Amino acid sequence: MNPLIFALATVRERRTALAGSFLALCLGVAILSASALILLSGGSGVPGRYAGTPVLVQAPKGAATDGTFLDRAPWSPQRTQQLTRDLAAVPGVREVVADRSFPAQAVRDDGQPVGEQRERAREGHGWSSAALAPYAMGEGRPPTNGQEVAVSQDLDLPVGARISLLTAKGPEPFTVTGTVDGPGYYVTDARAAALSGGVRVLGLLTGPGADRRAVAAAAAKAVGASGTVLTGDAREALAPVQDEKTRWIGAQVLSAMAALSGFVTVFVVSSTFAFTVAQRRREFGLLRTVGATPKQLRRMLYGEALAVGAVAAGAGVTLGALFAPALGDVLVDAGFQPEGFAARIQLPVLAGAFGIGVLVAMAGVWAAARRAARTAPLDALREAAVDDRPPSRARLFAGIGFTVAGCAAAVGSAVVDPADMVSLALLTAVTLITGVTLLTPAVVPPLVRLVTRPLARRGGAVALLVREGMLTAVRRTASTVAPVLATVGFVVLITGNTQTSAHPYRTEEAVSVRAEAAVVPHGTPGLSDAAVARVQGAALLPTVLHTDRAPLTAAGIDPGSFAAVNSRLKVVSGSLDGLGDGLGDGLGDGVAVTESVRRTLGPTIRATFEDGRTETLRVAAVLDDRSSPYQVLMGRAAVRAHDPAALTEVVYRTGPRTEVPGGHEVSPAAHAGSADAEEDRLVWVFTLLLVGLSAGYTALAVANTLLMATADRRADFRVLRLSGATVRQVLGVVVGETVFVVALGTLLGGLVALPSLLGIRAGLSGLLGVPVDLVVPGVPVLGAVGACLLLALAGSVLPTRAALRAG
């Protein structure tokens, strides 16, 4: 017997039973290939502002920590001038342009924005920067003095119009001298230098016929370690830092989708083949009787998996390539990829996804093939319809091991760092689902006996048949319970984790602020100094300090007013009274830092500000890590002196209410809930994607398993009918078994997710020092259970009706 030829024949014969494995593999490979194509397609391309410049020089990237998305440290003014001179001397370079940017937005007389302006259109630049795109002049002329501006044609403003331009200082009058065919506002280079921070990008405009490679090589030699020379596609690195964060979030989404689809695909394939082997024991026994060896049985099943896997992986790769561009557009719309992103088809990526799909199919059938090879000829021939054999010792030990590991991970999630809490929670769910699934053949019989005992006594013949049917076909019952368990477990874990983690942070911030209201930007990127001056209260002016170790988030505050409104601020040592104004001799400029920063950097900090200047700052106070929203607090005047483009993000009002141009008031509690509104939205979209993915896969397994099981029970139905049971009674038995199985899977799924959620709650409660409620959204969970029940009923009742009609 040739096992491979026989395997192809059995695949054709059992194509209906293998449909679930085929669909699971096809979808898994499609998701994997589409995700990989998007992940490896890079970013959104070269930013339009630099598209016309063949050679660009970027400031060197300093040390960074995982999860931080901050701009590079700028060059100092002296270094910028020196680099400009050195690069201008490079043969072939016509001009060196220092790119400067600052927040700017056209506003009306009342301070409200003019129309809806996209985020990247709310920036000002020096006029020389327009040549980097290059943006062409439409009507009029470039600005020549500090009160003139060239604006985008999209604003539809005539030359000579008077407008107010909102900058970090406040609304300032400008005269429109011309229009350009690109976004943003363009002032003189001198005015841009006064309104912006330091320079991070230098553009090299080349002369006619210049060799760009030679220019880039000479520029790299001139720059040395002071910067990075970018050409071609490498200029994509100049995309805004927000795009980097967006791509990172998208990468987490795609990686989680790929990992989850891989796990669930193996889960579905292995459970399908395991159930198939249990159904085919008599067939394998006959093959053993006619001389088939265990090795040949294993090769036959591997051949089946290879045939199904190759076809499914091929179909999945095709679907992934077709839908990757559409998925990329969806991710852009959802905020998981930056504007301008486009997925690129790459044949090596598709080939790799195909190979992984085939390997997943082979891995899924491995345990089933080993079980089939242990089939004894006489045992199989004497086997009755009863399938209540206990699980093997290896399965029991593996199930217990995974369950213990899951419980240990749940305990660990209560004490680990917050950054690792979610990952450990997901590991808890995966290991517990795997462990309990392996133990279901041992768990199901006692649970069935316990729950159905009252029904068997008083429920009549149908209830008795339901009970005995599940007890005499333990593996069929366990195989059906397992996907329901996985569906409910993942849905409860993912949604519960999201909601349980979100609420305590908002609660902690809301109860710690003592203010009448929070004044926040409305239609503008931030509050200007003029707007802040109208409000009595505590304002936060964020900036970034660049050190040799890592960039630090910082904010300028008034020490007295900030301490008055923030009840959770805890000064471990020193005093906020020592915060300097940034205008002294360096060491006199005291700052407050968190305990972790103090341990890392010591009593003084050598830091580069946003204007490129470097100073040594004295640590005047040490703050509890959990009490401060920023790593460094300093005087507001110090931030403004070194960061002309900084905008205030919130003012906690303690005095009388007043109108604030470009801002509006919300309650402190509302601000606590809306401060991370965009991130919360992305997290919830991410949650729904994972829920839909996991629930869709496992619901497919539910329907497929029940379809296989029902199709295999035609002889049972015939016996029931010959024994006097009506069609309605037979259908009642099937419906009763299905409902009970879904209920049992739901119960086990909820229990599996509970340790993970309890671990997260304990960890958050200890971290924040406030009580944390365990929140599990009812709608997604009930929706998943309802979908499982409907699919299960469809996969069992419809084939049963068809079998009964066929006689």
On the question of pLDDT at 480 being above 70, the answer is: yes
Tell me which residue of 491, 451, 499 sits closest to 471, measured CA to CA: 451
Same domain, 634 and 686: no
Whether residue 468 lies inside any domain: the answer is: yes
Q: Measuring CA to CA, which residue among 96, 46, 481, 439 is closest to residue 243?
A: 46
Confidence of residue 554 (pLDDT cuts 50, 70, 90): very high
Task: Kindly state whether residues 250 and 378 are assigned to the same domain.
Answer: yes
- Identify whether residues 705 and 599 lie together within a single domain: no
At residue 276, the 3 state secondary structure works out as helix
Q: 196, 213, 228: which is the final residue of a domain? A: 196
Phi, psi of 775 (to 5 degrees): -115, 120
Mean pLDDT of the chain: 79
In this structure, the answer to whether residues 647 and 771 fall within a common structural domain is no
Which residue pairs from 63-67 have beta carbons closer than 8 angstroms and sit at least 24 positions apart in sequence?
Answer: 63/547, 63/548, 63/549, 63/550, 63/551, 64/550, 64/551, 65/550, 66/419, 67/419
Tell me the mean pLDDT in the region 692-700. Answer: 65
Asked if 164 and 290 sit in the same domain, the reply is no
Q: What percent of the chain has pLDDT over 70?
A: 77
Q: Cα separation of 782 and 788, whole Å?
A: 10
pLDDT-based confidence at residue 500 (cuts at 50, 70, 90): confident
Residues 575 and 722 in one domain: no
Q: What is the pLDDT of residues 290-320, one digit of tens each?
A: 777 888 878 887 887 888 888 888 988 998 8
Q: What is the mean pLDDT of residues 168-176?
A: 91
Lowest mean pLDDT among 268-277, 335-344, 478-487, 584-593: 584-593
Distance from chain centroid for Cα 447: 38
Number of Cβ atoms within 10 Å of the Cβ of 83: 23
Strand pairing partners for 231?
55
Tokens 């679930």 appear where?
Answer: 20
User: Is the same domain home to 107 and 87?
Assistant: no
Nearest to 270 by CA among 398, 385, 184: 398
Look up residue 754 and give its amino acid. L
Residue 587's pLDDT band (boundaries 50, 70, 90)?
very low
Where is mean pLDDT largest: 9-23, 176-190, 257-271, 736-750?
176-190
Q: How confident is the model at residue 95 (pLDDT cuts 50, 70, 90)?
A: very high
User: Which of 383, 400, 428 is the C-terminal boundary of a domain?
Assistant: 383
> What is the spatial distance between Cα 546 and Cα 124, in angstroms, rounded to a whole number?
24
> CA 739, 740, 743: angle at the middle one, nearest 5?
85
Give the model's pLDDT for residue 581.
54
What pLDDT, on the 0 to 100 scale, is given for residue 584? 47
What six digits make up the tokens of 47?
A: 């930013």
Residue 208 clears pLDDT 50, i.e. is over it: yes
Asked if residue 350 lies in contact with residue 35, where contact means CB atoms within 8 angstroms, the answer is no
What pLDDT is stored for residue 238 in this prediction? 81
Shared domain for 340 and 220, answered yes or no, is no
Chain CA centroid to CA 139, Å: 45
Domain-terminating residue out of 599, 633, 661: 661
Q: Does residue 663 surpass a pLDDT of 80?
A: yes
- Check residues 723 and 683 and name the one with the higher pLDDT: 723
Evaluate whether residue 392 is within a structural domain: no
The count of other CB atoms within 10 Å of the CB of residue 376 is 13
Residue 427 lies in a domain: no
Q: Do 657 and 716 share a domain, yes or no?
A: no
User: Has residue 667 been placed in a domain?
Assistant: no
The whole-model pTM stands at 0.69
- Statement to judge: residues 69 and 203 lie in one domain: yes
**Domain assignment of residue 300, yes or no:** yes
Res. 419 pLDDT band, cuts 50 70 90: low
Cβ count within 10 A of residue 367: 17
What pLDDT, on the 0 to 100 scale, is given for residue 512? 65
Q: Which of 89-93, 94-98, 370-374 has the lowest mean pLDDT?
A: 370-374
List the single range of 149-158, 425-434, 653-662, 686-695 with lowest mean pLDDT: 686-695
633 in the same domain as 531: yes
Please give the backbone phi and psi of residue 7, each rounded to the nearest 5 degrees, phi first. Answer: -65, -40
Q: Is the pLDDT of residue 188 over 90?
A: yes
Q: Longest Cα pair distance anywhere in the chain, in angstroms? A: 101
pLDDT for the residue numbered 29: 83
Interhelix angle 677-711/474-512, rounded to 10 degrees, is 170
| C-alpha closest to that of 281 among 152, 361, 194, 377 | 377
User: Encoding tokens for residue 45?
Assistant: 């391309």
Quick: pLDDT tens for 214-264. Answer: 999 999 999 988 889 999 888 888 877 777 777 776 676 677 667 766 766
| Amino acid at position 227, single letter | G
The predicted-structure confidence for 22-64, as pLDDT tens digits, reads as follows 777 787 788 778 888 887 776 667 888 888 899 999 998 765 5
Q: How far apart are the first and last CA of the chain?
A: 36
pLDDT greater than 60 at residue 561: yes
In a domain, 133, yes or no: yes
**Total structural domains in the chain?**
5
CB burial of residue 115 (10 Å; 0-12, 13-18, 19+): exposed
153 closest CA partner among 174, 132, 113, 182: 182
Domain that holds residue 377: 1-44+244-383
Confidence at residue 383, expressed as pLDDT on a 0 to 100 scale: 46
Q: Are 653 and 665 in contact (CB under 8 A)?
A: yes
Give residue-wise pLDDT tens across range 754-803: 887 888 777 777 666 666 777 777 777 888 788 888 877 887 787 778 77
Question: Looking at the predicted structure, is the pLDDT value of residue 147 above 90?
Answer: yes
Whether the predicted pLDDT of 583 surpasses 50: no
Name the band, by pLDDT with cuts 50, 70 and 90, for residue 455: low
* Per-residue confidence band for 511, with pLDDT thresholds at 50, 70 and 90: low
Residues 6+ apart with CB under 8 A from 640: 529, 541, 556, 582, 646
Q: Residue 505 above 60 pLDDT?
A: no
pLDDT band for 588, please (50, 70, 90 cuts): very low
| Confidence bin at 190 (pLDDT 50/70/90) | very high
3-state secondary structure of 604: strand
For residues 222 and 75, state if they share a domain. Answer: yes
The owner of tokens 């009388």 is: 656
- With cut-offs at 50, 70 and 90, classify the pLDDT of residue 5: low
- Residue 128 forms part of a structural domain: yes
Q: What is the DSSP string of 536-570?
A: -EEEEEEEEEE-SS-EEEEEEE-HHHHHHHBTT--
CB distance 660 to 448 below 8 Å: no
Please give the Cα distance from 313 to 25 (Å, whole number): 7
Helix (H) or strand (E) run with residue 101 in it: strand 101-103
Question: Is residue 384 predicted with pLDDT exceeding 50?
Answer: no
Helices (H), 374-473: 377-382, 393-413, 418-458, 460-472
Which of 193-197, 380-384, 511-515 has the highest mean predicted lDDT (pLDDT)? Answer: 193-197
- Between 744 and 143, whose confidence is greater? 143
pLDDT, one tens digit per residue, over 725-768 is 788 888 888 888 888 888 888 888 888 888 878 887 777 776 66
Query: For residue 647, what pLDDT is reported?
Result: 92
CA dihedral 675, 678, 681, 683 (to 10 degrees): -90
Q: Kindly state the helix (H) or strand (E) to which residue 692 belongs, with its residue range.
A: helix 677-711
Rounded to an integer, the average pLDDT of 328-348 is: 77
Q: Which residue(s) pair with 473 in the sheet?
A: 387
CA separation for the pair 616, 614 (Å, rounded)? 7
Domain assignment of residue 483, yes or no: yes
